[in-house]
Amino acid sequence: MSAMHGVKPSERLLDNSGGADWSGYGRTYGEQHYSPLDQVNAGNVERLGLAWSLDLPAGNTVTQPIAVDGVIYFAMGYSFVHAVDAVTGKLLWSYDPEVYKTAGPKQHAGWGSRGIAWWNGKVYTVTHDGFVIALDAKTGKPLWKVPTLDKDDSSYVTGAPRIFDGKLIIGNSGDYGAVRGHATAIDAETGKTLWRFWVVPGDPAKGFENEAMAMAAKTWSGEWWKFGGGGTPWNAFTYDPETDTVFIGTGNGYPYNHRVRSQGKGDNLFLASVVAVDAKTGKYKWHYQANPGETWDFTFTQDMPLADLIIDGKPRKVLMAAPKNGFYYIIDRITGKLISAEPFVDVNWASKIDLSTGRPVENPEARYANPAVVRPTSLGGHNWQPMSYNPKTGLVYLPANELSARLSDDGSGAGWLPPTDVTVGGGPGFAADFKVKDGGPRNYTSSLIAWDPVRQKLMWRVQAPRMVPAGVVSTGGGLVFQGGIDARFSAYSAVDGKRLWSFDTQAPSVAPPITFSVKGRQYVTVLTGFGTSSSSGGAMLQRYRLDYRTMARRVLTFALDGKAVLPPKVEPDWSKPADPDYRPNPALASQGAAIYAQHCTLCHGFGAVAAGMAPDLRRSFIPLSEETFLAVVRDGILQPNNMPKFDNISAKDLAAVRQYIRAQAHNPESDKETEDFGQAM
């Protein structure tokens, strides 16, 4: 029994709960990202106004809050947890786990936290280096802390934990190193590990953990375990209390290239799959694999809402998914049998999904033995930003991407070895060139689409600026809320997609919003600011003038007749410091470009063009001084500010990186917006 208002924690998370709280990542066990609240509706949303705002420190704010009993909880940056009064915006407490002291090289993959969890008077965050920390929800006092990762491997954690019937579920992340995916269940009261489900098999010589791993091993070839295999289930978990089943969405293979990872042979279970397991024991029940022999970084780690649909005149209990590969899947969640699958974006890697076998009918050229234009790309037709299923309209509201890339085998072959560091340029076994002329009419765009899952049909589309989609929430009031890279937070009609209201957030608002009520008043909350791996694409986002130092990172909360106003926007200073000692050295800069691409792009952007997650180094004084540069990059004097140290890079290579950054500062072409994420992802 919860100490808060005498309500059982599980009752808050049922799909038919009233909607006053948003106490889990998808609000409920079914992860629909839908609220039945209708006080704010299509008829009065023009009265929606800012109730309050709260300024936040620097760090990733592309994270979803939760709201329980009038308190908003969220974690930004590296699991820096805040509790805020939902009515007044007053900060009640904060907790910084000081991840930089323990994370080591894991901090090099710097996405930060996507969300947190609540259960029975406790708030839970999972740090980047895999520690689950339980906090007292009233005071923020740490209650216990337990590890879920090997401190010496290449994995880390970026996804939000879920709590299903008293069990906290968290998966590991890490598709840039030799990682073996796993999901771990922990007792939410004590921190005791209850079970672990491994996504891919390990070394056969050491024996398999269970029958599921022995079965999966038959679908692999070569010495895959030396590469880890991948499959990290970092984001997508759903729970069906009727059958006591946890559904796990799994990730891509590692390395990406099937020919390198598994000699081009076998389905490689359980990559790119949904796996159903017993919630009490973690025992395998069934699986459906969307991409047998996955070779494109086509993860199945996008949210998987549950629903009860009428299909062909019969009620069906289904799991829905819109993974990276661009098909919308309807799966019987009792049996795992595929019911239907149709493309929701432009797809050319497969012509269809064969419903008799459940397997894709692939375009052989898409496996890029020879260079081939493939769509979607590793960025996905849909990425991690959550979609929303609205049971009142029967529609799914989905942030979709349209992007093509020319893929080619990088020639690494059987001699390929995984990197020794957690980096963005980890040698995936293929090269991706995003500068393609035949990418389709909507290439490099994103959109909000309404999708009928029963008819598998597009109902409407709202084109979004550039290719940075935002998470969505839909409501019983006939509204769909979504932010954007263009600093506009909007409410759309759930019926036809008409924009009914918008607000200038002064900064990107691409985090998933939530809605809840306190004492009968409905609120809508979203965090502003930019982060995650999208920040690497600063070169294609220059029109938005995204500046780390001046970006308005805030919590914004709205209600009917809200009267608060934001302070004036602070305009960034785009000047570059004088560098009279700079001398061109194209050869050294070229060497530095490759090293920079591997270690620095994730935060500071391809081409040294940042997008707000970290400073734009072309405009920084730090690279001008060798002493200062080494103190920051090699020695880590800014680690408390979440700048990792790279003491594994040689002095020679650091000199090359410094030369490259200074060269880019003197390169006028770097100030021009491009449509390129870089040559290798």
Task: State how beta strands 472-475 and 34-35 pair.
Answer: parallel
d(CA 509, CA 530): 7
Closest CA to 114 of 22, 12, 247, 25: 25
Query: Is 85 flagged in the annotation as binding?
Result: no
- Residue 617 — very low, low, confident or very high, per pLDDT cuts 50/70/90? very high
d(CA 577, CA 572): 14
The residue with greater pLDDT, 302 or 573, is 302
d(CA 277, CA 586): 55
Query: Is 150 flagged in the annotation as binding?
Result: no
Give the pLDDT confidence of 419-477 residue by residue, as tens digits: 666 655 555 778 888 888 877 788 888 999 999 999 999 999 999 877 788 999 999 99
- Residue 2 — very low, low, confident or very high, per pLDDT cuts 50/70/90? very low
Query: Is 383 flagged in the annotation as binding?
Result: yes
Give the pLDDT confidence of 347-380 residue by residue, as tens digits: 999 999 999 999 999 999 999 999 999 999 999 9
Query: Is 557 flagged in the annotation as binding?
Result: no
| Under 8 Å between Cβ of 276 and 337 | no
What value does the mean pLDDT take over residues 228-232?
95
pLDDT of residue 415: 64
pLDDT of residue 642: 86
Residue 5 has pLDDT above 60, yes or no: no
Instruction: Give the CA distances from residue 405 to residues 296, 318, 373, 677, in Å, rounded to whole numbers and listed in that order.
Output: 11, 33, 5, 10
Residue 632 has pLDDT above 90, yes or no: yes
Active site residues: 297
- Residue 676 — very low, low, confident or very high, per pLDDT cuts 50/70/90? low
pLDDT of residue 6: 60
Could you tell me the pTM of the whole model?
A: 0.96
Report the side by side order of strands in the sheet with 430-433. Answer: 372-374, 405-409, 430-433
What value does the mean pLDDT take over residues 327-354?
99
For 286, other C-beta atoms within 10 Å of its C-beta total 17
Query: Is 114 flagged in the annotation as binding?
Result: yes
Residue 677 has pLDDT above 60, yes or no: no
413-426 as b/e: b if 16+ CB within 10 A? eeebebeebbbbbb
Query: Is 451 flagged in the annotation as binding?
Result: no
Mean pLDDT (the chain, rounded): 93
pLDDT of residue 421: 64
pLDDT of residue 419: 67
**What backbone phi and psi angles, to 5 degrees, belong to 460?**
-160, 165
- Angle of the 586-599 helix axis to the 651-665 helix axis, nearest 10: 100
pLDDT of residue 1: 37
pLDDT of residue 31: 98
467-487 as b/e: b if 16+ CB within 10 A? bbbbbbbbbbbbbbbbbbbbb
Q: Where on the phi/psi map is residue 44: left (φ > 0), alpha (ψ -120 to 50), or beta? A: alpha
Give the pLDDT confidence of 29-59 residue by residue, as tens digits: 999 999 999 999 999 999 999 999 999 999 8
pLDDT of residue 679: 36
Closest CA to 429 of 269, 203, 264, 251: 264
CA 601 to chain centre: 17
Instruction: Give the CA distances from residue 377 to residues 303, 359, 380, 510, in Å, rounded to whole numbers and listed in that order.
Output: 18, 19, 5, 20
The dihedral built from the CA positions of residue 459, 462, 467 and 468, taken in this order, carries a sign that is: negative
d(CA 205, CA 213): 13
Instruction: Give the CA distances from residue 596 to residues 57, 593, 657, in Å, rounded to whole numbers and listed in that order.
Output: 26, 5, 6
pLDDT of residue 396: 99
| DSSP secondary structure letter of residue 233 | -
Give the pLDDT confidence of 483-540 residue by residue, as tens digits: 999 999 999 999 999 999 999 999 999 999 999 999 999 999 999 998 877 778 888 8
What value does the mean pLDDT take over residues 158-163?
96
Domains of the chain listed by start with CATH number: 63-467 (2.140.10.10), 586-671 (1.10.760.10)
Residue 675 has pLDDT above 90, yes or no: no
pLDDT of residue 241: 97
d(CA 324, CA 347): 11
Query: Is 303 flagged in the annotation as binding?
Result: no
d(CA 344, CA 366): 19
pLDDT of residue 411: 73
d(CA 515, CA 33): 10
User: How buried is 146 (Cβ within 10 angstroms: 0-12 exposed, 13-18 middle, 19+ buried)?
Assistant: middle
Give the pLDDT confidence of 91-128 residue by residue, as tens digits: 999 999 999 999 888 888 767 789 999 999 999 999 99
pLDDT of residue 680: 31
**What backbone phi and psi angles, to 5 degrees, belong to 388?**
-135, 130
Residue 174 has pLDDT above 90, yes or no: no
Give the pLDDT confidence of 277-294 residue by residue, as tens digits: 999 999 999 999 999 999
Q: What six digits make up the tokens of 72?
A: 């908003």
Query: Is 603 flagged in the annotation as binding?
Result: yes
